[in-house]
């Protein structure tokens, strides 16, 4: 055992867990840890963000690309509370993250000391686990627990709040990874009997339908999904966060589920006789009106979190297991089959959707540039091989619908929390994690201004993220709802935006603007050819709407094309 300060023990613990990157912002209560970090700069890269929320989302982007817990390091009080939104975002989207916050001296806890906030109390509902370290001797054991909990079972964020005295005190360092934790035993292996029942249902099905979610990507179960789909001839639909688990051009991939998903998957959900749901939680944006959701179908639900089974939709065959392990067991028991007429029904709906929506949106004959047109052109130019990180709003749904990923882990967004301001910092984290891949942030003009300061992070660290702003000078999603459901009473959604090109250049990030159709293709070429961080503002149709759409309170089969 080696004697060292608590702050040095933090660094050594991070190295034991294989951490190579931290996203953070220093301050008084975390300064001893930053002092120790100075001596570890050759082993751990620190990305200095410009706001603590940015640190959290960057850690999320890093985690989404690597599967490892992303690490955020911030100070106490406002530093910790600024991180809260990103923590909640990670919790809802099952993203592994270890958040380290500084805290006042243990002797001052509860005294309303300068920059004291009860971050443990604040984050208890939005973390998988949190803990306040008040003694340096606790650090190795607590860090080992934190990383183990964050990255196993259903992943999620954990928070470690370290008092300043614990950072300064001397201690003897000894580390043991992956500890046994009483009461924490995530199950990964499927029940053989349940797998057999599921296989029998699928073998006898006439209209089977597989729904895949983020859990497929987390479990690295993409190959198993493909094997089952191809062996049994099952059409596959994806949730927003499940996109890219199956290539967009796969003959059995039928599109995205949910409120702005594709026409066929929504309508035909209520005609399937067996639904195999994997790593998805039947979110309200997927199910629409629950009382009318898939009542005719036998439901097989695979999820590693038992709390998700029977929470929203009752399962006939609930399987608590790791998605990859469950699907691998299932593929051995299902029979070779084909459901050509059933798949053809999806394709018939595809044709109707194309004629009524897609063709006009992606190939407008005149007028303003459309968001769909821009994203479809981007998809073609990148051959679906880029990592797209989208923010939240109309552009998010457009990116999900019209960017066609051909590689896994290619679509990153904020799903459950729907956090505006997510994309720019998350793209930073994704690019740091996968520098060999093209990372493109697709952002609306409203969302971009939520964390616009992270342009400085891009410039300082020369992180070659490409940014596309789809600018309609509106809070577009809210405006669409106000148009359709509130008699066009546009209440506080009209934006007077800054000159995004000038702002970007002010942050030393190259930028240009395209506001005419004839400019679009070459502007995208220049953006993609850049080897540095760069921004392209595309001025799009001001009052464009997104269809299909399942209105709130409607059944999925009541999806509207106009």
Residue-wise DSSP of 159-190: EEEEEHHHHHSEEEE---SS---TT-----SP
Tokens of 416: 């459950």
Q: Indicate if the pLDDT at residue 294 is higher than 90.
A: yes
Q: Are residues 414 and 504 in the same domain?
A: yes
* Mean of pLDDT values over 510-518: 97
CATH code, 412:
3.40.50.970
Residue ranges in 309-422 assigned as alpha helix (H): 323-331, 340-353, 359-362, 371-382, 394-402
| The pLDDT of residue 95 | 98
Q: Indicate if the pLDDT at residue 217 is higher than 90.
A: yes
The mean of the pLDDT values for the chain is 97
CATH code, 288:
3.40.50.1220
15 assigned to some structural domain? yes
> Where does the pLDDT of residue 97 fall: very low under 50, low under 70, confident under 90, or very high at 90 and above?
very high
Q: Are residues 373 and 453 in the same domain?
A: yes
Q: What is the pTM of this model?
A: 0.96
Q: Are residues 166 and 222 in the same domain?
A: no
Q: Which residue has the tokens 């001839």?
A: 233
Percent of the chain with pLDDT over 70: 100
> Where does the pLDDT of residue 365 fall: very low under 50, low under 70, confident under 90, or very high at 90 and above?
confident
Q: Are residues 284 and 318 in the same domain?
A: yes
Give every CB contact of residue 422 below 8 A, 6+ residues apart in sequence.
Answer: 57, 60, 89, 389, 391, 392, 413, 414, 447, 451
| The pLDDT of residue 153 | 96
Q: Indicate if the pLDDT at residue 1 is higher than 80.
A: no
Helix (H, G, I), strand (E, B) or coil at 158: strand
| The pLDDT of residue 396 | 98
| The pLDDT of residue 178 | 87
Helix (H, G, I), strand (E, B) or coil at 460: helix
Tell me how far apart the alpha carbons of residues 443 and 410 are, in angstroms, rounded to a whole number: 16
303 assigned to some structural domain? yes
Closest C-alpha among 468, 446, 265 to residue 382 = 468
| The pLDDT of residue 35 | 98
The residue among 146, 173, 200 that closes a domain is: 173
Q: Are residues 424 and 471 in the same domain?
A: yes
b/e sequence 33-54, b meaning 16+ C-beta within 10 Å: bbebbeebeeeeebbebbbbbb
Q: Are residues 99 and 198 in the same domain?
A: no
Tell me how far apart the alpha carbons of residues 83 and 442 are, in angstroms, rounded to a whole number: 23
pLDDT tens digits for range 464-494: 999 999 999 999 999 999 999 999 999 999 9
* Mean of pLDDT values over 196-223: 98
What phi and psi values does residue 180 have, to the nearest 5 degrees? -80, 125
Q: Are residues 78 and 199 in the same domain?
A: no
Looking at 433-529, which runs of residues are DSSP E strands?
A: 439-444, 466-471, 510-514
418 assigned to some structural domain? yes
Total domains present in the chain: 3
| The pLDDT of residue 561 | 93
Tell me how far apart the alpha carbons of residues 144 and 288 are, in angstroms, rounded to a whole number: 41
The residue among 142, 173, 204 that closes a domain is: 173
| The pLDDT of residue 208 | 98
326 assigned to some structural domain? yes
pLDDT tens digits for range 389-435: 999 999 999 999 999 999 999 999 999 999 999 999 999 999 999 99
494 assigned to some structural domain? yes
pLDDT tens digits for range 137-174: 999 999 999 999 999 999 999 999 999 999 999 999 99
Q: Are residues 317 and 420 in the same domain?
A: no
Q: Are residues 164 and 213 in the same domain?
A: no
Q: Are residues 262 and 142 in the same domain?
A: no
167 assigned to some structural domain? yes
| The pLDDT of residue 483 | 95
Percent of the chain with pLDDT over 90: 98
Contact 17, 100 (CB under 8 A): no
Q: Are residues 228 and 155 in the same domain?
A: no
* Mean of pLDDT values over 325-333: 97
Q: Are residues 342 and 372 in the same domain?
A: no
Catalytic residues, by residue number, are: 52, 114-115, 164, 477
> Where does the pLDDT of residue 509 fall: very low under 50, low under 70, confident under 90, or very high at 90 and above?
very high
507 assigned to some structural domain? yes
* Mean of pLDDT values over 73-89: 98
325 assigned to some structural domain? yes
Residue ranges in 153-287 assigned as alpha helix (H): 164-168, 192-204, 214-218, 222-232, 263-269, 284-287
Domain that holds residue 49: 2-173
């Amino acid at each position: 055992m080696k004697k060292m300060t608590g702050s040095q023990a933090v660094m050594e613990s991070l190295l034991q867990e294989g951490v190579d990157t931290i996203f953070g912002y220093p301050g008084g209560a975390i300064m001893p840890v930053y002092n120790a970090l100075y001596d570890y700069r050759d082993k751990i890269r620190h990305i200095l963000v410009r706001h603590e929320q940015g640190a959290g989302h960057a850690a999320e982007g890093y985690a989404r690309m690597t599967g490892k817990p992303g690490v955020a390091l911030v100070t106490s009080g406002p530093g910790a509370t600024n991180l809260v939104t990103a923590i909640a975002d990670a919790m809802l989207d099952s993203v592994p993250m270890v958040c380290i916050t500084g805290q006042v001296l243990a002797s001052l806890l509860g005294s309303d000391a300068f920059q004291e906030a009860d971050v443990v109390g604040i984050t208890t509902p939005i973390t998988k686990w949190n803990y306040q370290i008040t003694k340096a001797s606790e650090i190795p054991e607590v860090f080992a627990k934190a990383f183990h909990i964050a990255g196993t079972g259903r992943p999620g964020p954990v928070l470690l709040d370290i008092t300043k005295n614990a950072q300064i005190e001397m201690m003897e360092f000894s580390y043991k990874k992956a500890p046994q934790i009483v009461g924490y035993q995530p199950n990964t292996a499927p029940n053989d009997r349940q797998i057999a029942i599921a296989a029998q249902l699928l073998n006898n099905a006439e209209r089977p339908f597989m729904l895949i979610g983020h859990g497929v990507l987390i479990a690295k179960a993409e190959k198993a999904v493909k094997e089952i789909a191809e062996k049994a001839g099952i059409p596959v639909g994806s949730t927003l966060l499940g996109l890219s688990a199956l290539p967009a051009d796969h003959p059995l991939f039928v599109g995205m589920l949910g409120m702005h998903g594709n026409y066929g998957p929504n309508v035909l959900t209520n005609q399937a006789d067996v639904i195999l749901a994997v790593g998805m939680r039947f979110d309200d944006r997927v199910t629409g009106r629950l009382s009318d959701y898939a009542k005719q179908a036998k439901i097989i639900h695979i999820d590693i979190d038992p709390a998700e089974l029977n929470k929203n939709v009752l399962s006939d065959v609930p399987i608590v297991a790791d998605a990859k392990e469950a699907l691998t067991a299932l593929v051995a028991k299902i029979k070779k089959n084909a459901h050509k007429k059933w798949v053809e029904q999806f394709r018939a709906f595809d044709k109707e959707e194309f004629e009524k929506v897609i063709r006009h949106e992606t190939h407008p004959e005149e007028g303003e540039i459309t968001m769909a047109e821009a994203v479809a052109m981007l998809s073609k130019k990148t051959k679906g091989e880029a990592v797209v990180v989208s923010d939240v709003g109309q552009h998010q749904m457009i990116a999900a619908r019209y960017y066609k990923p051909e590689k896994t882990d290619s679509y990153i967004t904020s799903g459950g929390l729907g956090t505006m301001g997510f994309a720019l910092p998350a793209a930073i984290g994704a690019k740091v994690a996968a520098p060999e891949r093209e990372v493109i942030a697709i952002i609306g003009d409203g969302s971009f201004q939520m964390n616009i300061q992270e342009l400085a992070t891009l410039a300082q660290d020369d992180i070659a993220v490409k940014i596309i702003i789809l600018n309609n000078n509106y809070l577009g999603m809210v405006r669409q709802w106000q148009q359709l459901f509130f008699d066009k009473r546009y209440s506080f959604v009209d934006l007077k935006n800054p000159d995004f090109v000038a702002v970007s250049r002010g942050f030393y990030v190259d930028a240009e603007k395209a506001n005419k159709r004839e400019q679009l293709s070459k502007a995208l070429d220049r953006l993609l050819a850049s080897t540095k961080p760069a921004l392209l503002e595309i001025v799009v149709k001001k009052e464009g709407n997104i269809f299909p759409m399942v209105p709130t309170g409607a059944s999925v089969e009541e999806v509207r094309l106009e």
